[in-house]
Amino acid sequence: MSEKGERIICRCNEVTLEEIEALIEQGVTDIEMIKRLLRIGMGPCQGRTCLPMVISIIARKTGKSPDEIKLPATRIPIRPVPAGVLVGDMNEE
């Protein structure tokens, strides 16, 4: 849970700017690793809100161009699953 005054970057998982910057300062500059460690882009918005901001933060802190930072891989289900199964309204058959 974030403290008062912290700047939330990922609203779905309440990840703060300070948490992201701390990882970058420790040498973690790969967006895939940041995603795994902080769960950015894994909430309901699937990164539509936070990933562009995280890319900007990495670019600013490392001196890279945002174009040099690739989006993390997306992983879709191996086979299509009806949305009702995911929310528990129906059985998968």
pLDDT tens for residues 59-84? 999 999 999 998 887 777 667 778 78
Residue that wins the pLDDT comparison between 92 and 18: 18
DSSP secondary structure string, 52-70?
A: HHHHHHHHHHH---GGGSP
Whether pTM exceeds 0.85:
no
Which amino acid, residue 17?
L
CA distance 74 to 59: 21
Does pLDDT of 2 surpass 60? no
Annotation: CATH topology of 8-87: Arc Repressor Mutant, subunit A (1.10.10)
| Domain residue ranges of the chain, discontinuous segments joined by + | 8-87
pLDDT at 77: 61
Mean pLDDT over all residues of the chain?
87
DSSP-assigned beta bridge partners for residue 61:
none
Residue 15: phi and psi, rounded to 5, are: -90, 130
Strand pairing report for 15-16 and 8-10 = antiparallel
Residue positions counted in the chain: 93
**Between 69 and 87, whose confidence is greater?**
69
Q: Bigger pLDDT: 45 or 31?
A: 31
